[in-house]
Amino acid sequence: MNRQEQIEFLKKLNDEHSALYSNPGESLARKLYRAKHPTEIAALKCMDGRIHIPVATNTPLGIIQPWRNIGGKFDMGWPHFQLDICNWVRYAVAQGRQCLILVTYHYSRGHKHRGCAGYDYDQELAFNETKKLKAQIERVFGKDHKVVYPVLFGFETDLDAVILNGENGEQIDLSELKDGNENDLRQILRRLYPDMSAVMLNDFLPLVVGNIAHIEEVRQSNRPLVDIEHREWVLAVGRGFDWLHEPNTALIVGPYSPNLDVPIEKAAGIIKGNLEAGRVDTEGFTLLCSAIYRETSGVEPLLAREKALFLERFASEVIGEKFSDFSELMNPLAVVVDMNTRKMYFVKE
């Protein structure tokens, strides 16, 4: 793809997602799902485009709130991140809902170097750092789990398989479960998470059932290895990327780390490797910087525009400084996303 074709591809992908998200039938189905499963669910996950939990769990789009950063690395001390999470929890509580936070790590069972580049493919390190993040969340919101319940949530990218990590240290690899009987799965969840409320457990169960069904679909498809290797050509920086769910298309860097240059540099290095190895057939790569708004009038859309333009300038400078030759292959774009429709709009200085 040349640069214009890359833009058209992304625009078409967003148009399709926005049309689906805004479709009256889809909207009603999402509201019905919410009514049946009121728990607010968040996923703290890696920028790796292979990790799309709604697809892997057959969950309607718009239900799971994503936060992305390199390796799924977050810290409750980061000002922007803690503000986002706390606002999300306050919103849930105001709606009378509990909060389930999926604190994720990922790896490949088939080959170490198809695992998490953010942790230099060190599965044990990723797991241990994820445990520390879970403990941080519990220190902030309490270990009684009455409102906020963080769970260690492994993701194996060869099969898109979820690994459940229980409070007692027990692990259940959903790819090893042959029977998706809901009563049996409910008992497993109760054993793993004995202090989880009945409502939350009932809302966690569909993710487990959906993942078991998805794993079988992956097995039946005989997905080639090229689909589970890094071959991204979009470096997405900012928020509002839940529409960008094509496998291995984008590395997504959330704007949370105080040292935002570090994940941008890491992601750019991965994409540079993809291009040099010939894993992608594109003329260069797209730098897509995005900010979101919900209020469609007033200053919020204008602030989003300024944020998107700032992120574009910042990321371009980082890439230009760290990869001077590679930066010549960059197609920088700034966009804003209306979260009411998930529609993307291009902006310029």
The per-residue DSSP string of 184-246 comes to HHHHHHHHH-TTS-HHHHHHHHHHHHHHHHHHHHHHHHT--GGGGS----EEEEES--TT--S
CATH number of domain containing 343: 3.30.1330.140
The 10s digit of each residue's pLDDT in 307-349 is 999 999 999 999 999 998 888 899 999 999 999 999 999 998 7
pLDDT attached to residue 121:
87
Average pLDDT over residues 23-44: 91
Domain boundary among 177, 192, 225: 225
Based on the domain organization, do 61 and 119 belong to the same domain? yes
Based on the domain organization, do 221 and 73 belong to the same domain? yes
Please indicate, yes or no, if residue 20 is contained in any of the structural domains: no
Identify which of 305, 282, 283, 276 has the alpha carbon closest to the alpha carbon of residue 292. Answer: 305
The 10s digit of each residue's pLDDT in 261-314 is 999 999 999 899 889 888 888 889 999 999 999 999 999 999 999 999 999 999
Q: Give yes or no for a contact between 243 and 14, defined as CB atoms under 8 angstroms apart.
A: yes
Cα torsion at 270, 319, 275, 346 (round to 10°)?
100
Average pLDDT over residues 30-56: 91
Rounded CA separation 344/338 (Å): 7
Based on the domain organization, do 56 and 190 belong to the same domain? yes
pLDDT attached to residue 229:
67
> Is residue 180 very low, low, confident or very high in pLDDT (cuts 50, 70, 90)?
confident
| DSSP one-letter code for 289 | E
CATH number of domain containing 81: 3.40.1050
> Is residue 167 very low, low, confident or very high in pLDDT (cuts 50, 70, 90)?
very high
Rounded CA separation 45/133 (Å): 12
* CA-atom Rg of the chain in angstroms: 20
pLDDT attached to residue 231:
81
Q: Does residue 183 surpass a pLDDT of 70? A: yes
Based on the domain organization, do 183 and 259 belong to the same domain? no
Q: Hey, what amino acid is at 74?
A: F
pLDDT attached to residue 51:
86
Range with the lowest mean pLDDT among 93-97, 160-164, 281-285, 299-303?
Answer: 281-285
Percent of the chain with pLDDT over 90: 70
- Total number of domains constituting the chain: 2
Q: Does residue 226 surpass a pLDDT of 60? A: no
Rounded CA separation 47/116 (Å): 10
Q: Is 250 helix (H, G, I), strand (E, B) or coil?
A: strand
| Block residue for tokens 């371009």 | 316
The mean of the pLDDT values for the chain is 92
Rounded CA separation 268/137 (Å): 30
Identify which of 122, 114, 217 has the alpha carbon closest to the alpha carbon of residue 158. Answer: 114
Average pLDDT over residues 71-87: 94
* Residue 75: exposure state from Cβ atoms within 10 A (0-12, 13-18, ≥19): middle
Based on the domain organization, do 145 and 258 belong to the same domain? no
Average pLDDT over residues 148-173: 95
Tell me phi and psi for residue 157, to 5 degrees: -80, -15
The 10s digit of each residue's pLDDT in 125-144 is 999 999 999 999 999 999 88
Domain boundary among 183, 206, 225: 225
Q: Give yes or no for a contact between 238 and 289, defined as CB atoms under 8 angstroms apart.
A: yes
Please indicate, yes or no, if residue 218 is contained in any of the structural domains: yes
| Block residue for tokens 């479960």 | 177
Identify which of 134, 110, 135 has the alpha carbon closest to the alpha carbon of residue 123. Answer: 110
The sheet carrying 330-338 orders its strands as 250-253, 234-238, 285-293, 330-338, 343-347
Based on the domain organization, do 180 and 84 belong to the same domain? yes
pLDDT attached to residue 207:
97
Based on the domain organization, do 247 and 338 belong to the same domain? yes
Average pLDDT over residues 10-34: 90
Query: Rounded to two decimals, what is the model's pTM?
Result: 0.90
Based on the domain organization, do 185 and 134 belong to the same domain? yes
Identify which of 347, 231, 230 has the alpha carbon closest to the alpha carbon of residue 289. Answer: 347
Q: Does residue 230 surpass a pLDDT of 80? A: no
Q: Does residue 1 surpass a pLDDT of 70? A: yes
Q: Does residue 79 surpass a pLDDT of 60? A: yes
Identify which of 202, 214, 290, 200 has the alpha carbon closest to the alpha carbon of residue 53. Answer: 214
Domain boundary among 191, 207, 225: 225
Average pLDDT over residues 114-135: 91
Please indicate, yes or no, if residue 32 is contained in any of the structural domains: no
In Å, how far are 52, 166, 241 from 2, measured between CA atoms?
Answer: 26, 47, 22
Q: Give yes or no for a contact between 89 and 67, defined as CB atoms under 8 angstroms apart.
A: no
Based on the domain organization, do 267 and 140 belong to the same domain? no
pLDDT attached to residue 136:
97
Strand partners, 101: 42, 150
> Is residue 228 very low, low, confident or very high in pLDDT (cuts 50, 70, 90)?
low
Tell me phi and psi for residue 164, to 5 degrees: -90, 130
What domain range includes position 163? Answer: 37-225
pLDDT attached to residue 150:
97
